[in-house]
Structure 1
Amino acid sequence: MIRRTLLALGLSLTLSAAAPVASDLAFVDLTDDFAKTWDATQALDDAARVTAFKQAFAAKLPGFYDHRRIKVDEALYDKHLLKALKAYPENRDAIAKVSAQFASSIAPALASFEAEFGPMRGYPPVYLVNSLGEFDGGTRNLPEGVRLLFGADMLAKLHGDDSIQPFFHHELFHLLHTRTFPECDQMWCALWAEGLAVHVAKTLNPGADDAALLLTQPEPIRAAVDANRTHAVCAVLTRLDSTDPKDYRALFSSGRLDDRLPPRFGYYVGLLVAQDLGRTRDLKQLAVMDAATVRPLLERSLKAMGDC
């Protein structure tokens, strides 16, 4: 396991000329551990290899490579894990490249993020992992608490050097936001958390286009929503309290609500809400708003956008 802090790497961060501050945010790179475990288990049969792999990582990142985290049958998860292990040689070099560049890539994003929000102190470590195709970055609920993780495998596939800074800002904000806005199952919580993270990324990177803000994945979102603004807003309004996984997939993942709205359109509708509330509030003020404050403001903003 490679434990890195930005201070140890000599990457001191400065919030102002008079007040240099070194972040104590630690980064743990588990991609080398993945490679070593893969090498060490090559000779085992499939079932034994999956078991050995899960046991090896149970202590390194408890609860991550675990069927219970993603709420699927263990046999189904083991099949997915085995498939990923067999495909690993195809991705190994790309993952290693991301690992080698990760510290130098995220350092400037962390510096500019802290210049806006202050030093990131007292947070749990941030992990770089092989996500097995699950994510490029995001927070996950693990037995030891909420953790921010980056998936080196998906970073290699989805992000170029020109787009990575807004993405890092987006994910760092999620980590910061957990202190004032804990996750909840209702759709409105995801709408606010994701929309505000996009707003933060755009504000800290004024020149970022929709691709850099991930508003073109898996297809362009802005144009489709703008062409169907009332329909999109009303669809969100009627689902604010929904906990249906189908609604979540349509708004924030790979699902599709109908042929007029693209997958993940909730990110853009959430951005519109954050921009609206941000007309009279700066990023710091938006970041500390709790759920009781956000909910009525969010609903009022949506109602003003569409005649529902």
Structure 2
Amino acid sequence: MLSRLLAVLAAILAMGSPARAAPGLALVDLTPQFSAAWDATAALPDAERPAAFRARMAQAAPGFYPRETLEPTAAARYDERLLRRLKTYPEDRAGIAAVSRNFDAMFRAAGSGFEARFGRMVGYPPVYLLHSLGEFDGGTREMAGRATLLFGADMIVRYHGNDDLQPFFHHELFHLLHQRTFKECAQVWCSLWTEGLAVYVAATLNPKATDSELLLVQPEPIRAAVDRDRKAAVCAAVARLDSTDAADQEALFSFRRLSPELPPRFGYYVGYLAAADLGKRRSLNDLAALDNAAVRPLLERSLRSLADCPA
């Protein structure tokens, strides 16, 4: 969901005065710039406002909310989406401001606990908090050759409500850490491992976390649906381990539905089950250190131990 930002975020990676967000990380909060640009363009007609807003943001936070790299049709759609988000911003503003106000303290606490288990997080770019225009609550992406952690304040409000955010932060921090030892690939098995292990790490570090806090209820409860027919879910994943089909990725890790019985994003929970099985014999640190060559056979072996799937 972050693809629109990937080509342009590198321009701001060196933006100044980041706050310390966790012992080894720094935080740049771009939500005040969004708010200021919204205020400055509030009286403009719809036809002028997206361009004026983007110009304001280009001054305050270069590289955000552009459309110059898009072809004309996509650029027009981008401005339509931007205008919709600008119009709904008054409804979201208080929630986003609350996330911004509390984010540093919450993220610092989560980061300290994470580092107590995995070691100091050093040598990473700053962590960015922004208005994502409805695209994401959090995620790591490679920009300018470096894994960078981004959080969308608007979607944190929408998805996480009154949740304890620490498990969510641990999930995303683990993705940042994990990319140093495990390389993403186009096959389903890579996503099954990275997402499942991140859920397992968050659950292990936060044993009282709810399924909502473990990201297992969007867009509907996942655990109960999978547990009703675990074999069907596990074997569906096994059959697609080497698939590069976007439809398979979307069914296991996004909002597409593979079948009436299997919920969207069921790959998060199936991956968690495999990671938990492997975690019976390995520590979190050992699991995090496994490279791609080691993971592929271990993952399939674990999945097949969970269900009797066709060869």
After TM superposition, is the score higher than 0.5? yes
Secondary structure, aligned partner of 2:259: coil
Distance 2:46 2:195 in 1: 39
What TM-score comes out, normalization by structure 2 length?
A: 0.86
Distance 2:178 2:54 in 1: 30
Question: What's the CA shift for 1:144?
Answer: 6.2
Distance 1:3 1:64 in 2: 20
Structure 1 match to 2:53: 53
Report the residue type matching 2:41 in the other structure. Answer: T
Structure 2 match to 1:156: 157
Are the aligned partners of 1:236 and 1:266 in contact in 2 as well (CA < 8 Å)?
A: yes
Structure 2 match to 1:28: 28
Partner deviation per Cα, 1:247-269 (whole Å, 9 max, x = no partner): 12211111111111011100000
Question: What's the CA shift for 1:128?
Answer: 0.5
Are residues 65 and 297 of structure 1, via their aligned partners in 2, closer, same or farther at CA, if it must alter by over 3 Å?
farther
Are residues 147 and 54 of structure 1, via their aligned partners in 2, closer, same or farther at CA, if it must alter by over 3 Å?
farther
How many pairs were matched up?
Answer: 291
Distance 2:179 2:47 in 1: 38
Q: After TM superposition, list the pairs within 5 Å mapping 1:25-174 onto structure 2.
A: 25-57=25-57, 60=61, 62=63, 73-143=74-144, 145-174=146-175
Distance 1:63 1:34 in 2: 10
1:238 aligns with 2:218: no
Shifted more, 103-112 versus 260-269: the winner is 103-112
Report the residue type matching 2:19 in the other structure. Answer: R
Are the aligned partners of 2:160 and 2:212 in contact in 1 as well (CA < 8 Å)?
A: no
Are the aligned partners of 1:138 and 1:150 in contact in 2 as well (CA < 8 Å)?
A: yes
State the superposition RMSD in angstroms.
2.3
Partner deviation per Cα, 1:5-50 (whole Å, 9 max, x = no partner): 14xxxxxxxxxxxxxxx82311000000101111223344445432
Are the aligned partners of 2:171 and 2:201 in contact in 1 as well (CA < 8 Å)?
A: yes
Distance 2:90 2:75 in 1: 24
Are residues 50 and 146 of structure 1, via their aligned partners in 2, closer, same or farther at CA, if it must alter by over 3 Å?
farther
Are residues 78 and 2 of structure 1, via their aligned partners in 2, closer, same or farther at CA, if it must alter by over 3 Å?
farther
Hey, which bits of structure 1, 4+ residues long, moved more than 4 A?
A: 55-59, 63-69
Partner deviation per Cα, 1:47-72 (whole Å, 9 max, x = no partner): 54323433444573636655979xx9
What TM-score comes out, normalization by structure 1 length?
A: 0.87
1:3 aligns with 2:36: no
Report the residue type matching 1:25 in the other structure. Answer: L
Report the residue type matching 2:171 in the other structure. Answer: H
Are residues 251 and 61 of structure 1, via their aligned partners in 2, closer, same or farther at CA, if it must alter by over 3 Å?
farther
Structure 2 match to 1:13: none
Report the residue type matching 2:150 in the other structure. Answer: L
Partner deviation per Cα, 1:263-301 (whole Å, 9 max, x = no partner): 110000000111111111111111111111111111121
Secondary structure, aligned partner of 2:280: coil
Identity, % of aligned pairs? 58
Gaps of 5+ in 2: 1-15
Are residues 243 and 55 of structure 1, via their aligned partners in 2, closer, same or farther at CA, if it must alter by over 3 Å?
farther
Are the aligned partners of 1:63 and 1:142 in contact in 2 as well (CA < 8 Å)?
A: no
Partner deviation per Cα, 1:64-117 (whole Å, 9 max, x = no partner): 655979xx9222222111111111111111111110011111121111100000
Are the aligned partners of 2:274 and 2:302 in contact in 1 as well (CA < 8 Å)?
A: yes
Report the residue type matching 1:138 in the other structure. Answer: G
Report the residue type matching 2:50 in the other structure. Answer: V
Gaps of 5+ in 1: 7-21
Are the aligned partners of 1:63 and 1:143 in contact in 2 as well (CA < 8 Å)?
A: no
